[in-house]
């Protein structure tokens, strides 16, 4: 068998212009449809075939120049072609999962930091309250010392 006949056979099997997967048109340009084999060796087996050529004797020989493909071949090709894309999608999903986990960790860290800041703020408010009370007490004491001892010695600066 020459290489050109092998090439043309492969082209016929693949469909229009070496199309992989489920064929849509024959090399002659006609539509392709699914038929069911009625031969003894392939009883009930589905296949794609050009609708123009209706010579049942040549349907399964692949020698009449029209498309013939068993259904499982293009299905296998479709799966074969989809596997690399599935690997890419699986890789992207893994990346997104990793990014999601990283973001969840960052969110958790930010929550913990916010809780720590709230505790710090509560302590600062407590100290501010204590300082305010201390300032009030000091102010009262100073006012009492300066103004509250009417008959006693008065605070004088100098002699």
Which residue, chain included where needed, has tokens 């449809």? 33
58-73 pLDDT, tens per residue? 555 555 667 777 877 7
Beta pairing, strands 32-36 & 68-70: unpaired
Full-model pTM: 0.44
Q: Which residues contact 139 (CB under 8 A, 6 or more apart)?
A: none
Mind listing the pLDDT tens digit for each residue in 85-137? Answer: 999 999 999 999 999 999 999 999 999 999 999 999 999 999 999 999 999 99
Quick one: which of 118, 48, 123 has its CA closest to 78? Answer: 48
Contact criterion met (CB below 8 Å) for 113 and 120: no
15-53, pLDDT tens digit by residue?
A: 444 567 777 778 777 788 878 888 888 888 888 787 776
Q: What is the pLDDT of residue 56?
A: 61
- Domain boundaries along the sequence of the chain: 3-70, 72-152
Q: Quote the CA–CA distance of 149 and 158 in Å, as a whole number.
A: 19
């Amino acid at each position: 068998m020459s290489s050109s006949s092998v090439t043309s056979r492969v082209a016929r099997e693949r469909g229009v212009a070496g199309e992989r997967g489920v064929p849509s048109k024959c090399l002659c340009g006609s539509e392709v449809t699914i038929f069911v084999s009625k031969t003894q060796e392939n009883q009930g087996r589905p296949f794609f075939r050009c609708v123009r050529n209706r010579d049942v004797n040549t349907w399964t020989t692949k020698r009449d120049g029209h498309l013939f493909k068993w259904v499982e071949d293009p299905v296998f090709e479709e799966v074969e072609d989809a596997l690399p894309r599935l690997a890419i999608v699986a890789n992207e999903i893994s990346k997104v999962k990793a990014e999601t986990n990283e973001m969840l960790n960052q969110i958790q860290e930010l929550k913990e930091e916010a809780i720590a800041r709230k505790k710090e703020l509560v302590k600062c408010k407590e100290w501010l309250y204590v300082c305010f009370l201390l300032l009030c007490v000091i102010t009262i004491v100073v006012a009492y010392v300066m103004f509250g001892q009417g008959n006693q010695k008065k605070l004088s600066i100098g002699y």
